Structure 1
Amino acid sequence: MKAAPAAQKRLLDLAELDSVIDRLAHRRRTLPELAEIDEISARVARLATQVISAETEAGDLAREQSKAEADVDSVRIRAERDQKRLDSGQVSSPKDLASLQSEIASLNRRQSDLEEVVLEIMERREAADAQVTKIAAERDGLVAARSVSEDRRDAAFAEIDKESAEVRGKRSEVVADIPADLLALYEKLRDQFGVGAAMLQGARCLGCRTSLSIAEINRIKAASHDEVIRCEECRRILVRTAESGL
C-alpha cells in the first residue's frame, strides 16, 4: 500500500485521539459512582424485602389483635348479660343461681385471660410496627443517598461526553486528511490490537515496544517514503518520522 508520508503521519495524530477516546470510555465505564450506585441498589433491594416481611408480620398481628379483641368483647357481652339476669332477680332457683354465678366468674376469668392475650399481641404489634418504621427509614435514607450518587454520576457523564464529543470532532478533521484505503487498514488493525499505528523511533516500534532487527531496519531504509510499512512483530502500521533516524 502507498500513501503520502504526511498522510501516514496523520495516523499518529489519529492514534493519539483514539487513545484519548478509549481512556474517556474506560473512565465512563469505571466511574466510582457506578459501583457505589450498584452497592446501594443492592442494599435497597434487601431492605425492601425486609420491609415487606416486617409489614406482613405487622399485618398478621393486627388481624390477630382484632380477633382477640372481638373474643374479649364477646365474652364481656355474655358476662354483662348474665350479670343483668342475676341482678334482675329473674333467677330464683338456688341451683340456677349457683350455676349463673359460676358462669359469670368463669366468663370474668376468661375475659381477663383474653385481655392479657390482647396486651401481649399489642406489644408484639408495636414492636413490629417500630421495625417497619426503622427499616423503611433506612431504606429511604439509602434511596436519598443513591439519588446523590446518581447526580454525581450524571454530572461526570456529561463532562466525559462533552470532552469525548470535542475529541471526536478533532478526529473527524484528522480522518479527512487520510486516504480511504489507509484509514480502512488502520481501523482494521485498531479493532484487532487496540492501536492501529505506531511511531518507528530509532530501531524500535512504539506499538509493541519491540526493537527491530538489522535486516528489518535495512528493509525499511530501502523502502520508498510513500510505502506503508508494517511492524513484523505486532503488524501495526509503522510511521516513519524525523525521530526514526532513517
Structure 2
Amino acid sequence: MKVDAARQRIMLEVAEVDADLAKLRHRRANLPEEQEVAEIDKRIGVARDDAVRADIAAQDLDREYKRLEAEVSGMRSREAHDAELLNQAGVAPKALSELQHELAGLVRRRSAAEDDLLDLMEQQEATSAEHDRAQAVVVALEAEAADAGARRGVVALEADGRIADLATRRAAIVADAPAELLAVYDRQQAHGKPGAGLLRQGRCGGCRMELDRGTLSKIAAAAADEVVRCEECGALLIRTNESGLKAGG
C-alpha cells in the first residue's frame, strides 16, 4: 500500500487526539467528586439504617411500656379491691390472712413492675436520642452530598465540553485522513491495539517495542510513500525526520 508520506502523518494526529480523548474519558468516568458522592451516599445509608433501627427499637419499647403499664394499672385495681375487702367488717380470719398475703404480693410485684417502667423510660429516652442523632447525621450528610453533587456537575460539564471539543477536532482531522489508512487504524482500535505510532529511536510509538536492526534496515530501504506497519502490534508506523532513517528509494 502506498500513501503520500505527508498524508500518512495525518494518522499521528488522529492517534494523538484519540490518546487525549481516552485520558479525558477515563477521568470523566472516574471523577474524584463522583467517588466523594458515592462515599457520602454510603454514609447516608448507614445513618438511615441507624435511624430505622432506633425507630424499630422505640416501637418495641413503646409496646412493652404499654403492656407493663396496663399490668401495673391492673395490679393497682386489685390492690384497691383487696384493701377495700380488708376494711370490711366480718371477714373471716383465714380469708383475712389470705387477703393480706395477696395484697403484700401485689405490692411487691407492682413495685418491681414500676421499676421496670422506669428502666423502659430511660431506654426510650436513649433510643429517642439515638434516633435524633442518626437523623441529624442524615441531614448533615445530605447537605454534603448536595454540595459534592454540585461540584461534580461543574467538573463533569467542563470535562464533557473538552471531550466534545476534541471529538470535533478529531472529526476534522479524520475528514482529511487517507481512507485506506483510517480503515487499518480503526480495525486496530476495534481489537484493542494501537492504530498508529511514530517510529522514533528504533521503537514503535504504538506498542513501544524496539525493532531489530533487520526490520529497521527494511523500513529505511522502503520508499517514503510505502505504508509500513509494526510487526509486533500491527500499528501503522509513521516515519518522520525524528525516525532517524535515511529516505528510501
Quick check: TM above 0.5? yes
1:188 alignment counterpart: 187
Offset of residue 101 of structure 1? 5.1
Give, in whole Å, the separation in 1 of the partners of 2:200 and 2:99: 114
The 5-angstrom pairing of residues 166-181 of structure 1 reads: 166-181=165-180
The 5-angstrom pairing of residues 144-223 of structure 1 reads: 144-201=143-200, 203-223=202-222
Are 1:143 and 2:116 counterparts? no
2:120 alignment counterpart: 121
Are 1:62 and 2:46 counterparts? no
The gaps in structure 2 that reach 5 residues or longer are: none
- Report SS of the residue matched to 2:154: helix
Offset of residue 159 of structure 1? 1.1
Identity %: 38
What do residues 55-76 of structure 1 show as CA deviations (whole Å, max 9, x unaligned)?
2222111111001111111112
Change (3 A) 1:78 1:226: same
- Report SS of the residue matched to 2:134: helix
1:38 alignment counterpart: 38
What amino acid is the match of 1:125? Q
1:3 alignment counterpart: 3
* Contact 2:194-2:233 at 8 Å conserved across structures: no
Give, in whole Å, the separation in 2 of the partners of 1:208 and 1:71: 83
1:53 alignment counterpart: 53
Moved more, 214-223 or 66-75: 214-223
What do residues 147-201 of structure 1 show as CA deviations (whole Å, max 9, x unaligned)?
3322222222111111000000000001101132211111122334553111123
1:93 alignment counterpart: 91
Give, in whole Å, the separation in 2 of the partners of 1:135 and 1:15: 52
Give, in whole Å, the separation in 1 of the partners of 2:214 and 2:104: 116
- Report SS of the residue matched to 1:2: coil
- Report SS of the residue matched to 1:92: coil
What do residues 68-122 of structure 1 show as CA deviations (whole Å, max 9, x unaligned)?
11111111222234445556x5x43353555555544443333323211211111
* Contact 2:193-2:235 at 8 Å conserved across structures: no
What amino acid is the match of 2:197? A
What do residues 8-54 of structure 1 show as CA deviations (whole Å, max 9, x unaligned)?
11111111110110110111222222333333333333333333333
What amino acid is the match of 1:56? I
1:13 alignment counterpart: 13
What do residues 197-218 of structure 1 show as CA deviations (whole Å, max 9, x unaligned)?
1112354433334444443334
Moved more, 140-149 or 173-182: 140-149
- What TM-score, normalized to structure 1? 0.84
Provide the alpha-carbon RMSD of the alignment: 2.6
- What TM-score, normalized to structure 2? 0.84
Change (3 A) 1:207 1:106: closer
Give, in whole Å, the separation in 1 of the partners of 2:155 and 2:210: 40
